[in-house]
Amino acid sequence: MSLFTSTAKWVTEEHQMFAEMANRFMDDELVPNIERWNQNGVVDRDFWNKAGEMGLMAGAIPEDFGGVGGGIGFDAVTLYEQSARGDAGWGFGIQSIVVHYLTAYGSEDQKQKWLPRLASGEMVGALAMTEPGTGSDVQSIRTTAEKDGNSYRLNGSKIFITNGQTADLILVAAKTDKTQGSKGVSLIAVETEGAEGFRRGRNLKKLGMKANDTAELFFEDVKVPMTNLIGPEEGQGFYQMMKQLPWERLTIGIMALGAIDFAIAETVRYTQERKAFGQRVMDFQNTRFKLAECKTKAEVLRSFVNDCVAQLEDGTLDAAKASMVKYWGSEVQNEIMHECLQLFGGYGFMMEYPIARLYADARVQMIYGGTNEIMKELIARSLDT
């Protein structure tokens, strides 16, 4: 199983070597822990440091800031190798998104201070946009950042925040101008250590993705230096988010592909072993046809994902296409999990079998990163010009 298609022009020898290294790391350090992390509701903190030591989170970080300056394709490989082991708990996707915000809009000081620590796993990142009262409609957020001398005072609450219990560095979307809609939104980095007035809520109980610590966050008069504003001036947050969302959406397509490859392999293995009516379940024509359909969809998605990675690398991936890979990838993932689980019979409904977890993990892919309805809106907008 590999992220790469044989003809993908963005793939270099370095990517291939990186994938082999990531492959071994995931087998040794991730696979043995997946079940336990799902029970604990959180990934071991030291897994982040181990991944940092291997350079798995540094691929796209510039060399001057503790990375290897290799571009987005390296993060794509890490994400794929994770999800192709059937894991949706480790929040590297969000870490990578935080890195990309800082790389694109951070000041020299911010980059020096945070990027090396995000690369090494010393820091875990989170991105906090969603609030109890608003998710899809980001410009209606109510968290505020008011000026107070050389600081901002943050007030408000966020919900459903991936890495919420673990994060040391949170990019918070807040209104620096309450009279404005999207133009009043700014991104402000909050270092959680010693941040007075900052509080994490409970680790939310979810249908799937149970190994990820998804949390509510509360900000009560949290004092943050004005130098933590992301970008040269206030009011850029909405624009920055719109510019960075293609990568967030593509991460979802990549995670879908990895999970699909894992599910198909598991289902082939199971149906080859399981017998009914004196033959292997794999020998029923229905099984063969269903798996053939799943495999075909996986290959279509692989080509699409590779095309999107190539376009993101050369800066040409637009909002509509990024929305398509998120929408299509997550829909196909859910269809395939449904079909694969069915082929396990009753065992597919049992949590001891990874397919049950994969089925549950898949559902949220149609919701977060912008719901699939919002994706269709964005795609339709590109048609109706």
Ligand X SMILES: Cc1cc2nc3c(=O)[nH]c(=O)nc-3n(C[C@H](O)[C@H](O)[C@H](O)COP(=O)(O)OP(=O)(O)OC[C@H]3O[C@@H](n4cnc5c(N)ncnc54)[C@H](O)[C@@H]3O)c2cc1C
Binding stretches for ligand X (CB under 6 A): 94, 127-130, 135-136, 160-162, 206, 209, 214, 364, 367-368, 370-371, 373-374, 377
Least Å from the CB of residue 168 to ligand X = 15
Neighbours of 261 (CB within 10 A): 23
Catalytic residue of the set 131, 248, 266, 339: 248
Report the residue number, 353 or 368, with the smaller CB distance to ligand X: 368
Least Å from the CB of residue 138 to ligand X = 8
Reduced to 3 states (helix: H, G, I; strand: E, B; else coil), residue 194 is coil
Using CA atoms, how far apart are residues 260 and 85, in angstroms rounded to an integer? 10
Go through 152-173 and write b for each residue having 16 or more CB atoms within 10 A of its CB, e for each that does not.
Answer: bbbbbbbbbbbbbbbbbbbbbb
DSSP 131: B
Report the residue number, 77 or 209, with the smaller CB distance to ligand X: 209
Reduced to 3 states (helix: H, G, I; strand: E, B; else coil), residue 55 is coil
- Residue 193 annotated as catalytic: no
Reduced to 3 states (helix: H, G, I; strand: E, B; else coil), residue 215 is strand
Q: Chain centroid to CA 156: how far?
A: 24
Report the residue number, 37 or 344, with the smaller CB distance to ligand X: 37
Sign of CA dihedral 19, 25, 28, 30: negative
Least Å from the CB of residue 114 to ligand X = 18
250, 256, 261, 266: CA torsion to nearest 10: 160
Report the residue number, 161 or 341, with the smaller CB distance to ligand X: 161
Least Å from the CB of residue 112 to ligand X = 25
Report the residue number, 79 or 129, with the smaller CB distance to ligand X: 129
Using CA atoms, how far apart are residues 296 and 302, in angstroms rounded to an integer? 10
Least Å from the CB of residue 210 to ligand X = 10
Using CA atoms, how far apart are residues 18 and 79, in angstroms rounded to an integer? 12
Residues marked as catalytic: 248
